[in-house]
Structure 1
Amino acid sequence: MRIMGVSGMPGSGKSFISDIACERGAIMVSMGDIIREEAKKRGEPSKETAKNLRKEFGNEIVAERTIEKIKKLLEEGVDSSIVVDGIRSHHEVKLFRKNFEDFIIVSVFANSKIRFERIKARNREDDTDDYAVFEERDENELGFGIGNVISLSDKLLINESDLDSYIKEIHEFMEEYDV
């Protein structure tokens, strides 16, 4: 069993890692889902909730809630690998490493032009086809400290070529790290 964090800028290809890990039997815990659940309770947009939670409870609050969820899964006897999707700050990395000694981070990199085209194509609720809005979202992510997370990664995957090559690289990574 391995506990692994996945990080990267929006549209970089993080979800492919989580999806493939789940196909291999892992369980995914999404930090974004924790924020979205709280946003629904508060009746405010997710990005506003992400900022407000950190202002109200500190930089580690989303990680703390995620760790609680993971520990509950472990107490229930889950023995599969666990993938944590959406790590955005070095504070979160430190907290995960403090709580789980074999915790690893894999980050995905893709340049902004490629990521913008992917975001336009996937058309999720919080996605945009306005480049200025895309850049603002990137700035918010960088403001949380995602660049530091990427620099602290145990593994960095570059996702700028074709999908088949990227999927092959993900499988090779998972074999290497026993996910």
Structure 2
Amino acid sequence: MEVMGISGLPGSGKSLVSEIAAKKGAAVVSMGDIIREEAKKRGESSKETATNLRKEHGKYIVAKLTIEKIKKMIEDKLATTIIVEGIRSPFEVNMFKENFDDFIILSIFANPAIRFKRLQQRNREDDSENYEDFLKRDQMELDFGIGTVISLSDKIIINEKDLESYEKEINEFLKENTTL
């Protein structure tokens, strides 16, 4: 069983890693989806829910919910490789490392201007429409500890070139670090 995490600020390109890994047979668990599902139940925005969950249940809550989901997937033998998308804090990394042997982190980096442009094109409900809000969201992510996660990653891919180059780097990483 392989469990690995993907981290990076919004718009960096995490979801493409997940898409490529899924096409190769990996199961993907998105921590952001877990927050979005909870936000829908609560009638809150994703940003509010991310903050409120951590206030109510501690820094580990999103990781705890994700780990529970992954352990159920392992128990049900749904996949041999599981990708955890959206790890944001060193606390979460520690929990994954405590629960899964050989857990590694891949972080994706892209500069703010590129990421903001991508978010505008993506136009997801929780994406920032103006640059000021975008920077506030980045700061919220940094406050969670994502900068530490990125700086201590096992591998960092810079996603500022063309799509073909980025896909090639993702495929090389998966070939070197998984059985996919």
Query: With structure 1 as the length reference, what TM-score do the two structures score?
Result: 0.97
1:20 aligns with 2:20: yes
Structure 2 counterpart of 1:109: 109
Equivalence map 1:28-107=2 (5 Å): 28-107=28-107
1:123 aligns with 2:123: yes
Which range moves more in the overlay, 14-23 or 117-126?
A: 117-126
For 1:161, give the aligned amino acid: K
For residue 123 of structure 1, report the CA deviation from its aligned partner. Answer: 1.2
Name the CA distance, whole Å, in 2 between partners of 1:148 and 1:2.
23
Which stretches in structure 2 are left out of the alignment for 5+ residues? none
For residue 102 of structure 1, report the CA deviation from its aligned partner. Answer: 1.4
For 1:109, give the aligned amino acid: F
Name the CA distance, whole Å, in 2 between partners of 1:33 and 1:153.
22
For 1:113, give the aligned amino acid: A
Name the CA distance, whole Å, in 2 between partners of 1:3 and 1:31.
14
For 1:117, give the aligned amino acid: K
- Kept after mapping to 1: 8 A contact 2:45/2:126: no
For 2:124, give the aligned amino acid: R
Structure 1 counterpart of 2:9: 9
* Deviation beyond 4 Å, 4+ runs, structure 1: none
Name the CA distance, whole Å, in 2 between partners of 1:165 and 1:36.
31
Deviations 1:101-153 (A, max 9, x none): 11110000000111111111111111133100110110111011100110121
For 1:133, give the aligned amino acid: D
For residue 80 of structure 1, report the CA deviation from its aligned partner. Answer: 2.2
Name the CA distance, whole Å, in 2 between partners of 1:57 and 1:38.
13
Structure 2 counterpart of 1:162: 162
Which stretches in structure 1 are left out of the alignment for 5+ residues? none
User: Aligned-pair RMSD on alpha carbons?
Assistant: 0.9
Name the CA distance, whole Å, in 2 between partners of 1:129 and 1:64.
31
For 2:13, give the aligned amino acid: G
Aligned length: 179
Q: 1:156 aligns to what SS in structure 2?
A: strand
Query: With structure 2 as the length reference, what TM-score do the two structures score?
Result: 0.97
Equivalence map 1:134-145=2 (5 Å): 134-145=134-145
Name the CA distance, whole Å, in 2 between partners of 1:120 and 1:128.
7
Name the CA distance, whole Å, in 2 between partners of 1:82 and 1:144.
23
Name the CA distance, whole Å, in 2 between partners of 1:65 and 1:124.
23
